[in-house]
Structure 1
Amino acid sequence: MLLVTFDSNVWRPVGDPSRFPNDPMHASFKKIHAALQSGQIEGRLSETVFTLEGIAKADRKNLLGGYKPKIDITEDVRPDGSIHLGFSIGPDLAAHPGNNSYLSLHLNDALALGFKLMHCHRIAGLINQDIKPEWYAKTQITTTDVANKLGEVGRKIETAGAGIAWIKSIGAANAQPTEHWSQGLANAPSTEDKIIASAVAEWADGDMVSAHVAYQNHYICTRDAAKAAGSNSVFSPANRVWLERDYGVKFISPVELGNLV
């Protein structure tokens, strides 16, 4: 069985090609859909589709710029009179707006075909409470190994100027000296709203590629030629070269995947 990571511009029409009858790749989507139904392919999605990309573009600057992890402090008086303080940091579960009707519709299509989600571990990161634990892929790879590989690949993508690098640079440029880069997003002028929305999408793409490597999937199916983002994109020709060389990442178009199955 082929384990295929589907990019954001592919998974929805693959999930139900009948919803996209005029797409020029409709025939390929139908072939891939049939292969998913038969079990020849297991589709996999990065959870960032429903966390980062799940935030409306107009809301990304303010939500991410104002997001703070939840900090809990507990106090416990011991029998000997000593006081024990507990400190924990985790995601703010109320911060994410959840799936909109559009995402829910297409997610249901994907789940019906056996799609699985891939974790993108970030300490105290955003969590979409509409996503259920049983939807995540089960793998023999340990959670630690997945997290370590995610971090390794993510850092290399960032060093190459792609993935999270773009949004971090915008945030850092607008942050005060004592602020984290993410807080700087809230300070950015409204003229940068669209740029920030695109940078968040690139962040999601970088995490998706990192998860693909960590979960040891076979192909990334995308029709993203990185024409808009250029070198900022993890899908740029230069980045594809080292991702394939160093990590065996194989990019495949919907037409190529349709012909393969």
Structure 2
Amino acid sequence: MRVTFDTNTYRPVAEPDRYTNHPDHAAFVYLNEAIRDGRIAPFIGEALFTIEAIRKVARAPYLAGRRPQTEIVETTTPDGHARATMTFGPDHSQHPGLSERETERLENALKLGFRLLAQPRIGTPRPEPVRPDLHPDRFAADTDIAARQDKFAEVGRAIEDRGVGFARAKVIGARARTRAKRPATWFELLDDDRFFNDDERKEIASAVGEWVDGDNIAAHIAYGNDLFCTEDKAGNNRPSIMNADNRNWLAAEYSVRFVTALELHALFC
């Protein structure tokens, strides 16, 4: 069974010995064993490490400072015409990297059998441990990369259309663009005091968590996984892809099935 784990479930399942005082410790141990003996194929979204791992106070300035690398290659066609090709890609050096503890936690999860779900967003810098060009074996295998990427984009747009996921961060960034009265990407002005205040920077830090949730679910659907294991029980009093209304929509539209760690444990007992 293919299971996508959220931040709040992958950690105790990957390292149950660090959660001995948790009331669900026995379930964590059992799920850890189920992964070891191959009954569960575990996955985690790369956004947990590309975005969510960045400290909340550092998120706004980090996002504001991101710029994709631009490369222009000039060639000559057989008939003598000049041709220039421009490509955009991430500058991985812009990522602050993972903490020692986060790296250790990731390595333990990978050794156990977890694999990363790729979440393609143009120009996203990645820390070294989750770079697919350096560690392709750490990512989930798929037979049709283009179809998976298309599905991720499709579901991501559908989530945004409901005002959750990545949409919350974009709305906040758009405020600054409106105040600046000039074209800009949604993130460029986040660290400019003329267009953005401290309360909004805190808001963007929180919105990043919602962005990650939306991308995790989009990747879960794109890879065709069976269950999404999370302890996030967002109420309908705040916009979230995890609230009851959006869970019902995901179940009806994409057959997403949510479980807690205890519910997942019960399926295997």
Aligned residue identity for 1:254: A
**1:257 and 2:260 correspond:** no
| Deviation, structure 1 residue 130 | 2.2
**1:136 and 2:121 correspond:** no
What count of residue pairs does the alignment treat as equivalent?
258
User: 1:201-236 CA distances to partner (integer Å, 9 max, x unpaired)?
Assistant: 110110000000000100000000014x84421100
For 2:104, the equivalent position in structure 1 comes to: 105
Contact in 1 for aligned 2:93/2:125 (Cα 8 Å): no
**1:184 and 2:189 correspond:** yes
Q: Flag as ranges the 4+ runs of structure 1 deviating above 4 A.
A: 76-83
1:181 aligned counterpart, secondary structure: coil
Aligned residue identity for 1:148: D
2:183 aligned counterpart, secondary structure: coil
Q: How large is the RMSD of aligned CA atoms in angstroms?
A: 1.8
For 1:37, the equivalent position in structure 2 comes to: 36
- Residues 1-261 of structure 1 aligned to structure 2 (within 5 Å): 2-76=1-75, 83-131=82-130, 132-140=135-143, 142-175=144-177, 176=180, 177-187=182-192, 188-227=196-235, 230-261=237-268
5+ long unaligned stretches in structure 1:
none
Aligned residue identity for 1:54: A
Aligned residue identity for 2:72: I
Partners of 1:49 and 1:161 lie apart in 2 by 21
2:73 aligned counterpart, secondary structure: strand
* Aligned-pair identity (%): 38
| Deviation, structure 1 residue 118 | 0.7
Contact in 2 for aligned 1:218/1:250 (Cα 8 Å): yes
2:187 aligned counterpart, secondary structure: helix
Contact in 2 for aligned 1:90/1:123 (Cα 8 Å): yes
Aligned residue identity for 2:119: C
User: 1:149-192 CA distances to partner (integer Å, 9 max, x unpaired)?
Assistant: 10111111111111001111110011233111111322322223
| Deviation, structure 1 residue 74 | 3.2
Query: TM-score, normalising length from structure 1?
Result: 0.93
Partners of 1:73 and 1:225 lie apart in 2 by 47
Partners of 1:72 and 1:136 lie apart in 2 by 26
| Deviation, structure 1 residue 89 | 1.0
Aligned residue identity for 1:153: V
1:139 aligned counterpart, secondary structure: coil
Partners of 1:78 and 1:44 lie apart in 2 by 45
Aligned residue identity for 1:149: K
5+ long unaligned stretches in structure 2:
none
Partners of 1:81 and 1:166 lie apart in 2 by 49
Partners of 2:78 and 2:152 lie apart in 1 by 44
Query: TM-score, normalising length from structure 2?
Result: 0.90
Contact in 1 for aligned 2:166/2:210 (Cα 8 Å): yes
| Deviation, structure 1 residue 102 | 1.7
Aligned residue identity for 1:112: K
1:184 aligned counterpart, secondary structure: coil
| Deviation, structure 1 residue 260 | 1.1
Aligned residue identity for 1:11: Y
